[in-house]
Chains A and B, each alone.
Chain A
């Protein structure tokens, strides 16, 4: 954990009218690591992602990606720089088959710059590249799964399709918004290796999660948000045992109850 952070979030604040969704949240993500962001519902996790990635304008604060100030940049420019994100509520392009879903990100300027994809047509290069990416992400290549309409895919595959969408851009960092949620145990079990693969490929990850057990297995560090503020930062073990975190999740009375009977 040394060197320059790849993502530097400084004192980001977001107010919706009178409500302070984010209150001076700061964090740093270093290249190659996996940073987890956890917190109870409504703590501002998704708002934080939206502010970082340009989908919502922050009220104040600064975000630097690879040293560049992206605080006021629009969402597509940020993705173009290499910082991609998945969506918690996934909406693939339902009317298209899975592999065609990837044609769109492969059409982007970034994909064209970094990948050298060229051509078009019904069975042109983008389609084959799409199938390749899907295979990397866990779609069985020789089955008909990649060709199925996105509307008929189960959640596990849809989550992977979301990641594939990011991978098509050859990103340097992916912000994953609840990638493990809504999955069955076996689906999660097959998702974890994919995350590990991403890390091995050198992609930095910021993972917002609710499923703490799985997250703690992969994350290097964890940040905890509550009511829009960062209340704790540390390794998974440190966070698990922290009083404030338990209070945030369970409420102070509950913690006392639990402590009494512990």
Chain B
């Protein structure tokens, strides 16, 4: 009896441009470059075409979530650590920047880099004892960290307590804010994509795949996990520092659920493991979420349900699907 099965083959143009590594025609160059070009140009032009200041602000927020989502995807799919507490990084970064700004009067030009670097160090040190933990326990612990920090700040009434730190200076200008954010996202997106194919990136992926083999190769797995966490928390703290200068305020709501859940939802929707999928996911989810803000907490319901839907139906995510379609074609073959 004749049976058919589906077969997937790489498109010719992909094979030529990818593995043979010699680009011979404009078409091949376009095949490689066009998607990236579209993304870069899209992100760069977006601030200019937005109809109102409200929407320009939304772009900045999208960028912050993008940073968080990239860091989640990197940690979860390239280092093997699922962190359910992105809000922790945002919170640390934001409070650091606010403190540097209000107590020591440093300008955003200084607070942002300092908050990023020192925030990353603080987050890594605080997460250090949790690194040897098995996946599930690490996930639970990271879920608890932002909650703990928020309640501690509230209980001790330090750093402004429930009211938060007010009067933080804002970015020198609207356009500076927008293009700085977009620039950071692009730098980190392409930087991380490059990093995971570098030698150290391969070590991260090895830690995820088979950490025993990495140990047997004479490398300290915890050390590399720490570096991974450092990079991811740097991105998160950067987002937090920028957030503070956008809203001119730091408060415990920055440890809130939004920052923990939405990056995960964005990654799952956009396509995990691609690093660009989370960005796409954020571009889709955040504007809708901001629109829904007028309905109170409905936005959380919205992306929680989408997250559940995508996880439960094992959807591969937009970018993964998209990449597959772009790189391969399917056909039915007689068996």
Seen from chain A, the residues whose Cβ lies within 8 Å of a Cβ on chain B are: 53, 55, 74-77, 79-80, 84-85, 87, 91-96, 100, 103-111, 120-122, 124, 126, 165-166, 168-169
Contact = CB atoms under 8 A, between A and B. Distances in A.
A87 B216 contact: yes
A87 B221 CA distance: 17
Contacts of B214: 76, 104
A112 to B, nearest CB: 10
B213 interface: yes
A93 B206 contact: yes
A85 B199 contact: no
B200 A107 contact: yes
Given A124-B199, A126-B199, A79 B210 contact: no
Contacts of A53: 216
Contacts of B206: 93, 104
Contacts of B198: 120-121
B212 A87 contact: yes
Query: B-side binding surface: helix, strand, loop or mixed?
Result: helix
A96 B216 contact: no
Given A103-B199, A103-B202, 17 more contacts: A55-B212, A76-B220, A76-B221, A84-B217, A92-B213, A93-B202, A93-B213, A94-B209, A95-B205, A95-B209, A106-B199, A107-B199, A107-B200, A107-B203, A109-B219, A120-B198, A169-B217
26 contacts: A76-B218, A77-B218, A79-B216, A84-B216, A85-B216, A87-B213, A91-B209, A91-B210, A92-B213, A93-B209, A93-B213, A104-B203, A104-B206, A104-B217, A104-B219, A105-B217, A106-B199, A107-B199, A107-B219, A108-B218, A110-B218, A120-B200, A126-B199, A165-B217, A166-B216, A168-B217
A165 B213 contact: yes
Top 6 A-B pairs, shortest CB-CB distance: A79-B218, A105-B217, A108-B218, A80-B218, A75-B215, A120-B199
Interface of B: 197-200, 202-203, 205-206, 209-210, 212-221
A94 B209 CA distance: 8
A121 B210 CA distance: 23
Contacts of A79: 215-218
A108 B217 contact: yes
Contact of B218 (A55, A95, A109): A109
A90 B195 CA distance: 27
Given A104-B202, A120-B199, A76 B210 contact: no
Nearest to B206: A104
B204 to A, nearest CB: 10
B74 to A, nearest CB: 16
Nearest to B200: A107
A124 B200 CA distance: 13
